[in-house]
């Protein structure tokens, strides 16, 4: 996967967050939903880079050549998820219909006392997971995040819900690994994203939608080293106010000898890519990596 997302100024996220936070807080969800249509139209027209990335992705997953309506729908789905992010973090999740699949499996893994890595992606809404962690005492959650490259999101967290902000473990700090290990040792879940390569992070190229793309090896290195389960998480937006949250077990935890760790890491990274590909085909308009994902 290209690291272009890391170097570029993510105009889309900054634009949407500023506009939609204001609308959501002052006008409410119904009015905000109505305003998303012209806002999306303006953004699609004024952002050739995201239009190109959208078409590039959609032509890989749709059964027809993507047209203007498909590109518009893709951007509108993104805007809808950002809008609902505001309500989720503000504790107004009652406005949304969130269905959950595989949650019992996740609790069973936690019951073993080893904690678990909850591995997400930029497919759908990660904030749906944060809400489960806040309002379900059975799911204790920390979130690993690159704070310096998510300053807008960090400010939004602090503004809308300081309690959620306190669950963040910043990446790249001297005590990051120790804080992650401590959370896992206490039987908690540690959520992170596994679909974007950060700067010079180690990566592995795996088959993904007809071409190889780079995926970070860090999450799997962490899971194998600490011998904890990896559970994949998706918060798929289904239109209107509907979300469907999936928990899927990727591995119950590496238990082999030290010399087999590297092979296990490589196998898990590409297994993750296969899972992500399946969900991307199932819910293509939920794909929110608006850049050339396959560029070496």
- Encode pLDDT of 189-243 as tens digits: 999 999 998 777 799 999 999 999 999 999 999 999 999 999 999 999 999 999 9
Average pLDDT over residues 261-274: 96
CA 172 to chain centre: 19
Angle, helices 127-135/68-89, rounded to nearest 10 degrees: 20
Angle, helices 261-282/218-226, rounded to nearest 10 degrees: 130
What per-residue confidence (pLDDT) applies to 9?
43
Average pLDDT over residues 96-113: 90
Q: How confident is the model at residue 152 (pLDDT cuts 50, 70, 90)?
A: low
Are the CB atoms for 215 and 273 separated by under 8 Å? yes
Alpha carbons 11 and 51: distance in angstroms, whole number? 13
What per-residue confidence (pLDDT) applies to 4?
42
Question: 41-75 burial, b if ≥16 CB within 10 A, otherwise e?
Answer: eebbeebeebbebbbebbebbeeeebeeebbbbbb
What per-residue confidence (pLDDT) applies to 41?
94
Sign of CA dihedral 79, 85, 86, 92: positive
Coil, strand or helix at 195: coil
Q: Is 70 exceeded by the pLDDT of residue 12? A: no
Q: How confident is the model at residue 1 (pLDDT cuts 50, 70, 90)?
A: very low
Global pTM?
0.88
Alpha carbons 124 and 170: distance in angstroms, whole number? 22
Bridge partner list, 192: 119
Q: How confident is the model at residue 277 (pLDDT cuts 50, 70, 90)?
A: very high
Instruction: Report DSSP letters for 28-65, one per residue.
Output: -HHHHHHHHHHHHHHHHHH-HHHHHHHHHHHHHHSSS-
Q: Is 50 exceeded by the pLDDT of residue 85? A: yes
Phi and psi (nearest 5°) for 88? -65, -45
Choose the weakest-confidence range: 2-16, 87-101, 238-252.
Answer: 2-16
**161's tokens:** 């819900």
Mean pLDDT of the chain: 86
Taking Cα atoms as reference points, which of 272, 292, 287, 271 lies closest to residue 122? 287
What per-residue confidence (pLDDT) applies to 166?
77
Query: Residue for token digits 């899927």?
Result: 248
Average pLDDT over residues 142-147: 82
Q: Is 90 exceeded by the pLDDT of residue 283? A: yes
Q: How confident is the model at residue 92 (pLDDT cuts 50, 70, 90)?
A: confident
């Amino acid at each position: 996967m290209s690291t272009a997302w890391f170097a570029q100024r993510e105009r889309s996220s900054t634009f949407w967050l500023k506009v939609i936070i204001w609308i959501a807080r002052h006008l409410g969800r119904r009015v905000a939903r109505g305003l998303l249509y012209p806002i999306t139209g303006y953004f699609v027209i004024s952002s050739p880079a995201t239009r190109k990335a959208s078409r590039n992705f959609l032509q890989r997953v749709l059964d027809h050549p993507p047209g203007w309506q498909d590109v518009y729908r893709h951007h509108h789905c993104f805007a809808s998820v950002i809008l609902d992010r505001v309500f989720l973090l503000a504790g107004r999740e009652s406005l949304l219909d969130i269905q959950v699949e595989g949650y019992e499996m996740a609790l069973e893994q936690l019951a073993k006392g080893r904690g678990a890595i909850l591995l997400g992606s930029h497919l759908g809404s990660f904030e749906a997971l944060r809400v489960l962690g806040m309002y379900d005492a059975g799911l204790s959650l920390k979130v690993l995040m690159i704070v310096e490259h998510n300053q807008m999101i960090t400010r939004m967290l602090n503004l809308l819900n300081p309690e959620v902000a306190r669950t963040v473990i910043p990446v790249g700090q001297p005590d990051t690994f120790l804080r992650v290990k401590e959370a896992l040792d206490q039987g908690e879940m540690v959520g992170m994203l596994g679909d974007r390569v950060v700067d010079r992070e180690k990566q592995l190229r795996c088959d993904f939608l007809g071409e190889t793309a780079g995926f970070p090896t860090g999450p799997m290195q962490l899971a194998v080293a600490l011998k904890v389960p990896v559970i994949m998480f998706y918060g798929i937006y289904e239109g209107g106010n509907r979300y469907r949250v999936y928990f899927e077990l990727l591995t119950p935890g590496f238990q082999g000898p030290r010399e087999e760790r590297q092979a296990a890491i490589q196998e898990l990274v590409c297994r993750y890519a296969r899972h992500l590909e399946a969900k991307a085909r199932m819910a293509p308009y939920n794909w929110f990596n608006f850049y050339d994902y396959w560029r070496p």
